[in-house]
Structure 1
C-alpha cells in the first residue's frame, strides 16, 4: 500500500489536482485530498469522514438496491434517496385504485410503512489494498485466461477470509484496468420499507423533456426506513423487527447555499471510462451508441402506446420505461457532447505521445505494440458493436427475447432430474417465472418483440444473425409481425398462465419445438457466441489496455490519478457553481431555481408538467415557512461542480460541516462527455435543495412526524 500511496502522492505533486475533478477512495483522503478540501471550506477531519474504529460519515452512506446511493438521516434508520431510485418499489406497491406513484404516499406512523418484495441497502464497513498479494500470483508470460483464473482463485480466498462466516459481503474489485486490487467489506439489510414519496408530478416534474437539462425544478426524492432485529442485525422482514439504530446519521441544514460554497458528495458512482482509448470512444460515437439510441426509442414507443391507454399497464411498465428513456437520452447526449468536445482527437493526441514514449529503447519491449493492438481491435469490432447494441436493446426491452430461452432451458434441465433434485430446482424456476411475467402485458410484449426483431435483423444483419432468425428473415422479408403473432398464439411461454398450465401437464420434448423458444434461444445463442478468433482478440486487447493504463501512469502522460468508477464508495468535492446566465432561468444567478420558475412551466393535465393543486395554492400564498431562502423565494434545485455519474443518484450533498444541503439526481446534457473526459467549464451536478424536500414533507404533505425525526441545523 505504501508504494501505491507514494506513487499517487508524487503524481499529484507533479500535476496539481483540480478540486472539482475526481472520484476518490475514502482511505486516501487524508494523504491526497484533505488539505485541498480544507482550503475550500471543509471543517471535518479525515477521520470524521472515514474511520474503521469510530463512527464517521461513511456509516451514513448506503448503496440503495444495488444501483443508487442513499443516506441515513435519523437515529431511527430513516433513508433519503431519489424518487427515481425508489420508483420501482413505489410502482410495485401501487395499484390503479391506490396509485402512490401518481398521488404520493406518507406514512404518518411506522406501522403504516410498506415493505416492497425486494429492496436492500448496503453499508460500507471497510476497504483495503490487496494489489501486492494478488499481482504476486501472476506474470507477463500468462495468457489472459490463465491470469484471470489465478486472480479469481485468490479473490475467492480473500473474500472468504473477510466475510466472518457470512456476516459480511466481501467484494474484491480491480482498478486501473487490473493494475491494482482492493477489497470492500459490506453489510446488507433487506428489510427496507417505504416511508414517503411525493406525487410523480413533483418527483418527476419535467419528465423526459427536462431530463439531463438545466434549469430544472424537480423534487426527485423518496424516503424509506431500514429495519433490523432487536440486536441491530440484518434480518428478513418481520413484524418484530425494529428501526435500525445507525452508527451515524446526517444532520440537515436549512441555512441555504450560495455561489462558491464548499460541496462534498459521497456515493456509489457506477461506471466511468476516463481511461478509454480513442478507438473505443470513436466506436461508441459512430457504432455502439447510435444503435443503443435507436433500439431504446423503438422499445419506448411501443411501451408508451400501451401505457397511455391503460393505467394498470402504465404502472407495470413505469420503471422499465423510465430506465430505458433515461439511457436513451443519455447516450444521445454522449454522442453530441463527445463529438462537440473533439474527445477522439484529444485522446488520439495523448496516444501519439504515448507511442513516442513506448518506442524508446527502455520501453520498447513492453509497450511498443500496445497502441497498434488496441487500434486493430476496435477496427475489427465496429460492426460487432453495432450488432450487439441492437441485440442488447431487444433483450432489455422485450420479455420474449430472453425469457422463453432461459425458462425453457431451465425446464429442460428440470425434467431431466430426479425428484430430489427437482424439489431443489423448483423454487428457482418459480422465481424465474415471477421475474419474467411479474410486470407483463402480453399484447405490449407481442408488439415490442416484433418491432425490435424488425429493427435488429435490419440494422444488425451485416455482422451476422443467428441461424433461425436469419432463416425467418429470408422468408418474411424482414417483417416479423406475422411470425410473432402466430408464435404467441401457440407458444407455452406467451403468458404465466400458459407456463403454469404446461408445468401442470408437461411435455418436455415439446419445449425445443416451441416457436417463441426457438426464436429466443437463437437470440441468446448469438448473444453468448464467441469464436476462437474473437476470444483471442479479446484477450490481446485486455492485455494491451492494462498495459496502456500502466504505461500512461508510469510515463505521467495522463494526469488522472483516481481510478474509474465501478460502483464502489467514492468522495467528490467542489463548490456550488453557476453556469452562464440562461434566459430560461429567472434566478439572479444561474446556480439555483425557484418554485416560481416551476409554476411558470406548469401545464394542467400535462403528463410531464402538471402540478398538484395544493402545491399551487401554497405557492400562491407564499406559504414557505422556515424553508424559504432569506431572499424570500422557495428554492427547488441548485448546481455544484462535483464529479459524479450514474449510481450517484440519491447521493448526499454535504457542506463543510458534514450537514446535508441537497440530494444529487442528475447532470447537465452539455457535459455528457463527462464519463469519458472531465470538462471543468461545463460539468455540473444538479441537486434537489434540501429545503424544498423538507417543505414538501412538512407544508405540502403535513408529515410532521418525519420532520420531527430529523436533526435540523437552522
Structure 2
C-alpha cells in the first residue's frame, strides 16, 4: 500500500522542479509558470494577497478561513472540538448534542482558541545569518535565539495583544522569514454538529475514502466586543467544483521531512516514531478504560481519545513509509546526487562538504539523550493539565524577569499572549481524569528512566505512582483560574513561596528539564540548524528556488484538481453523496447517524455531494483549510487525507495521494435543512466578494 510511485517521486528525489500537483508553496513564491502550463491559471498579485488574508491559522494546530465580512470562520469540528468540550458540562453536552448559536448574542467565547491572519512576510535571512556567522554549539544556539527574539520584539512593538510575529526557518535555514500576523483571541463558537456526524465512520473510516463526514465547525472572530469586520473572505459556491477542475488549498501544514538527511530520517524512525507509537497504544487503552466507567467519564475523555487515535494512525503510516526499503533507496539517491554536486567543486566541498557528517554526529548525540529529553522536557512523564499550568508558572515567572533575547523562546514577548491565554483559561480541569493520567505517566517515567534514577526517586520517594498522583491532585488548587492568575501576577517570588504540590513538583523537575533541554539545543538542534543551512545553500546552488520548502506550520498554497484514483484496478470516484451517507449508516457507533439527520432525511436533497477528493498536497495542520476554485470561492473544506497520503511527510505521489474535503453544497444543505441555521445560511449566501 505504501510503495512509492517511483517514476513520479524521482522528480522530487533528484531535486528538480516539483510537479504542479505537488508542493506546499509559500505565498511569496508560487509556481506560476507551472500553474499556467498545467491548469491555464496564473494567480495575480491581487488574487494571492486576497487569499493570503482570507485564510487563517488556528494557533493550536489547524487552519481556517473567513467566509463573511463579519468575521465568520469556517474550519473543522475536530479543530474546535477542544472548545466544544471545554464549554460542555454533564448537563449540557455539546459534544453529543452539537451547538448552534441562533443569534449573535448566543455565540460563546472559546477559552483557548487564537486565530492568526497572515499580514506580511519579510526576508530577514541576512540579519539572522550575520548574527550566527562563525558560531557553533552553544554560541550558535544563543545567538540564533537572541536575534530571532530581537526581530520579533521589534515587529510586535507595542501591540502584543493584536500582533504576533514569528521568525520562521525555511529550507531548513536556507531562508529566514519574518511572518507578521494579526492576532484574534476573542474567538466565539458559532456552530458545531454532533460528534457522531462530525466523525461519522470513526477510526475505521479515518484516512480512508469514500467518506460521508460533516467535519465542520464555525467560529467568529470578535474585536472590541463586536464581530470583527474583515476585508478579505471566501464566498461559498453552492455547486462546488466539477471533476477535473483546478482547486487550491490555503492552509498551514504542520511539518514535513522531505528534505532531511538519511541520518535524520533514521533517527525519526528509530528514536521518535517507534517509541511514540508504543506510548500512544498504551495511552489509547488507558483513556478507553476511563471512558468506559461512566457517561461523564465518556464525555471527559472524548477529545483526548480522538487525538490519540488520530495520531496513532497517522504516525503508523509514517513508520510504514520509513520501513519501506524503496523510500531509503530513493532518499539515498537524492542525497548522493547533491553530495556529488558538492564534491565536484573544491570550493563547494570546502564550504558544504562536512555538513552531512556533522548532522549524523548530532543524531548520535540525540540518541544518548532522547528518552530523558522526551520524558522531562517534552513532559511525557507528566500527562497532566495541572502540571502544565504549574510548569508555566514556574518557568514563565522566571523568564519574564530576563531580557527578552535571553528567555526561553516560548516566553518571549511575542509568545506571551498565547501563554497567558492558556494559563488563565476558564476551561475545566477534571481531578478524576488527572489522577488517572498522571499516575500512568509517572509509572512510564519510572519505567523509562529507571527506578534508581535520582530524579525519579526524588519525585516518587517510597510511594507508588498512583499514590503520588492521588496526593498531588487532592492537594492542588491550580484548577482555579483565579489561583493561577494570582500566582502569575505575583511573579517569581509568589511562585517560589507556593506550597501547591504541583508547583513543588514543577520546581523539582525544572532544573533537570532545563539542563537536558540545553544539551538538546546546543549539541543537537544547533548543529542540525547550522549544517542544514549549509545543505540548503548547496541545494540552492544546484536547483535554485524551484523547489518548495518543507512545511513549518506557516501558510502554504497547494494546487491540484478534483480527481479520484485507481485502487488496485478499481476506480475510486472523486465524490460521495448524501444518499450514500444514509446507506453507510448501520445504527451503531461509529456508523450511527444522529437523530437530527434521521429526522431530516425527507427534507434533504440526497443527490447533493457530501465529500470529495482532490490531488492537493497536504499534511497534518491543513485540517480546516479552505478548498477554493480559481474565482476564490469555497468549494470544500479540507478535513483528511486518504491512506496513501500518510507517507506525505516524506514524499508526494500524484497517482495516489488525495486530500479529502467536505463538499460546499453538503455544508449549506445540512445547515439549512438539518440544523435550521437560517441565520448562518443567509450570512454565507449573501457574502459575495
The interval holding the TM-score normalised by the smaller chain is 0.7 to 0.9
Alignment of 1:221-236 (within 5 A): 221-228=216-223, 235=224
What is the match of residue 216 of structure 1? 211
Residue 206 of structure 1 and its aligned partner are, at CA, apart by: 2.1
| 1:57 maps to 2:43 | no
- Equivalent of 2:674, from 691, 695, 700? 700
The range that moved more, 389-398 or 285-294, is: 389-398
TM-aligned CA distance change 1:683 to 1:311, over 3 Å:
same
The range that moved more, 399-408 or 80-89, is: 399-408
Specify the structure having the higher radius of gyration (Cα): 1
CA distance in 2, matches of 1:535, 1:603: 52
What is the match of residue 590 of structure 1? 573
Which secondary structure state, in structure 2, belongs to the residue aligned with residue 218 of structure 1?
coil
CA distance in 1, matches of 2:647, 2:229: 41
What is the match of residue 662 of structure 2? 688
Residue 298 of structure 1 and its aligned partner are, at CA, apart by: 2.5
Aligned length: 649
CA distance in 2, matches of 1:433, 1:175: 30
**Is the 1:79–1:223 contact (alpha carbons within 8 Å) kept by the matching residues of 2?**
yes
TM-aligned CA distance change 1:323 to 1:521, over 3 Å:
farther
TM-aligned CA distance change 1:197 to 1:444, over 3 Å:
closer
Residue 543 of structure 1 and its aligned partner are, at CA, apart by: 2.3
| 1:183 maps to 2:167 | no
Which secondary structure state, in structure 1, belongs to the residue aligned with residue 102 of structure 2?
coil
TM-score when normalising by structure 2? 0.83
What is the match of residue 7 of structure 1? none
CA distance in 1, matches of 2:14, 2:387: 52
Residue 160 of structure 1 and its aligned partner are, at CA, apart by: 5.0
| 1:93 maps to 2:76 | no
Residue 400 of structure 1 and its aligned partner are, at CA, apart by: 5.8
Residue 42 of structure 1 and its aligned partner are, at CA, apart by: 6.1
What is the match of residue 205 of structure 1? 200
What is the match of residue 558 of structure 2? 572
Which structure carries more relative contact order (alpha carbon 8 Å, separation 6+)?
2
Which secondary structure state, in structure 2, belongs to the residue aligned with residue 75 of structure 1?
coil
TM-aligned CA distance change 1:160 to 1:209, over 3 Å:
same
Residue 668 of structure 1 and its aligned partner are, at CA, apart by: 2.2
**Is the 1:96–1:312 contact (alpha carbons within 8 Å) kept by the matching residues of 2?**
yes
CA distance in 1, matches of 2:495, 2:669: 62
**Is the 2:240–2:636 contact (alpha carbons within 8 Å) kept by the matching residues of 1?**
no
TM-aligned CA distance change 1:42 to 1:159, over 3 Å:
farther
**Is the 1:492–1:498 contact (alpha carbons within 8 Å) kept by the matching residues of 2?**
no
What is the match of residue 280 of structure 1? 264
Alignment of 1:551-570 (within 5 A): 551-556=538-543, 561-570=547-556
CA distance in 2, matches of 1:341, 1:164: 50
- Equivalent of 2:604, from 624, 627, 639? 624
CA distance in 2, matches of 1:312, 1:386: 35
Which secondary structure state, in structure 2, belongs to the residue aligned with residue 62 of structure 1?
strand
What is the match of residue 292 of structure 1? 276
Deviations 1:215-244, CA, capped at 9 Å, x for gaps: 32211111122233xxxxxx3xx3xx2x33
Which secondary structure state, in structure 2, belongs to the residue aligned with residue 362 of structure 1?
helix
CA distance in 2, matches of 1:377, 1:308: 44
| 1:262 maps to 2:242 | no
TM-aligned CA distance change 1:384 to 1:560, over 3 Å:
farther
| 1:450 maps to 2:448 | no
CA distance in 1, matches of 2:574, 2:566: 9
TM-aligned CA distance change 1:453 to 1:342, over 3 Å:
farther
Which secondary structure state, in structure 2, belongs to the residue aligned with residue 529 of structure 1?
helix
Residue 697 of structure 1 and its aligned partner are, at CA, apart by: 0.1
Alignment of 1:440-519 (within 5 A): 440-461=429-450, 466-470=453-457, 480-485=465-470, 491-492=475-476
TM-aligned CA distance change 1:523 to 1:333, over 3 Å:
farther
**Is the 2:251–2:625 contact (alpha carbons within 8 Å) kept by the matching residues of 1?**
yes
CA distance in 2, matches of 1:265, 1:432: 29
Which secondary structure state, in structure 2, belongs to the residue aligned with residue 108 of structure 1?
coil
CA distance in 2, matches of 1:362, 1:411: 49
CA distance in 2, matches of 1:251, 1:508: 51
Structure 1, unpaired ranges of 5+ = 1-10, 229-234, 415-426
Alignment of 1:318-467 (within 5 A): 318-340=302-324, 342-360=326-344, 361-382=346-367, 384-389=369-374, 392=378, 394-395=380-381, 397-399=383-385, 402=388, 438-461=427-450, 466-467=453-454
TM-score when normalising by structure 1? 0.80
What is the match of residue 136 of structure 2? 143
**Is the 1:402–1:524 contact (alpha carbons within 8 Å) kept by the matching residues of 2?**
no
| 1:127 maps to 2:127 | no
CA distance in 2, matches of 1:665, 1:221: 8
**Is the 2:115–2:187 contact (alpha carbons within 8 Å) kept by the matching residues of 1?**
yes
CA distance in 2, matches of 1:406, 1:509: 11
**Is the 1:637–1:688 contact (alpha carbons within 8 Å) kept by the matching residues of 2?**
yes
Residue 513 of structure 1 and its aligned partner are, at CA, apart by: 8.9
What is the match of residue 173 of structure 1? 168
**Is the 2:75–2:216 contact (alpha carbons within 8 Å) kept by the matching residues of 1?**
yes
**Is the 1:192–1:225 contact (alpha carbons within 8 Å) kept by the matching residues of 2?**
yes
TM-aligned CA distance change 1:337 to 1:152, over 3 Å:
closer
Residue 580 of structure 1 and its aligned partner are, at CA, apart by: 1.8
Residue 475 of structure 1 and its aligned partner are, at CA, apart by: 6.6
Structure 2, unpaired ranges of 5+ = 1-11, 401-416, 488-492
